[in-house]
Chain A
Amino acid sequence: EVQLVESGGGLVQPGGSLRLSCAASGFHFSSYWMTWVRQAPGKGLEWVANVNEEGSEKYYVDSVKGRFTISRDNAKNSVYLQMNSLRGEDTAVYYCARPRGYEILDYWGQGTLVTVSS
Chain B
Amino acid sequence: DIVMTQSPDSLAVSLGERATINCKSSQSVLHSSNNKNHLAWYQQKPGQPPKLLIYWASTRESGVPDRFSGSGSGADFTLTISSLQAEDVAVYSCQQYYSTPYTFGQGTKLEI
- A residues engaging B (CB < 8 A)? 37, 43-47, 50, 59-62, 95, 97, 99, 102-106, 108-111
**Please, which residue of chain A has its CB at the minimum distance from the CB of B4?**
A44
A105 to B55, CA, bound (A): 9
Given A59-B100, A105-B52, A110-B49, residue A44 in contact with residue B93 (CB < 8 A) = yes
Set of chain A residues within 8 Å of B52, measured between Cβ atoms = 104-106
Given A46-B104, A47-B104, residue A102 in contact with residue B97 (CB < 8 A) = yes
Q: Quick one: CB contact mask for B98-112 with A, threshold 8 Å, 1 for yes? A: 001111111100000
B101:A45 contact, CB within 8 angstroms: no
Does residue B21 face the partner (Cβ distance < 8 Å to A)?
Answer: no
A45:B50 contact, CB within 8 angstroms: yes
B102:A47 contact, CB within 8 angstroms: yes
Query: Nearest Cβ in chain B — how far from A9, in angstroms?
Result: 14
Set of chain A residues within 8 Å of B50, measured between Cβ atoms = 37, 45, 95, 105, 108
Q: Quick one: CB contact mask for B68-112 with A, threshold 8 Å, 1 for yes? A: 000000000000000000000000010101001111111100000
**Please, which residue of chain B has its CB at the minimum distance from the CB of A60?**
B101
Set of chain B residues within 8 Å of A59, measured between Cβ atoms = 100-101
Inter-chain pairs besides A44-B104, A111-B49, 19 sampled, C-beta below 8 Å: A44-B106, A44-B107, A45-B93, A45-B95, A45-B107, A47-B95, A47-B102, A50-B100, A59-B100, A59-B101, A61-B101, A62-B101, A99-B97, A102-B38, A103-B95, A104-B97, A105-B40, A106-B52, A108-B50
Q: Quick one: CB contact mask for B15-50 with A, threshold 8 Å, 1 for yes? A: 000000000000000000000001010101000111
Set of chain A residues within 8 Å of B97, measured between Cβ atoms = 99, 102-104
Query: Nearest Cβ in chain B — how far from A49, in angstroms?
Result: 9
Given A45-B93, A105-B40, residue A95 in contact with residue B104 (CB < 8 A) = no
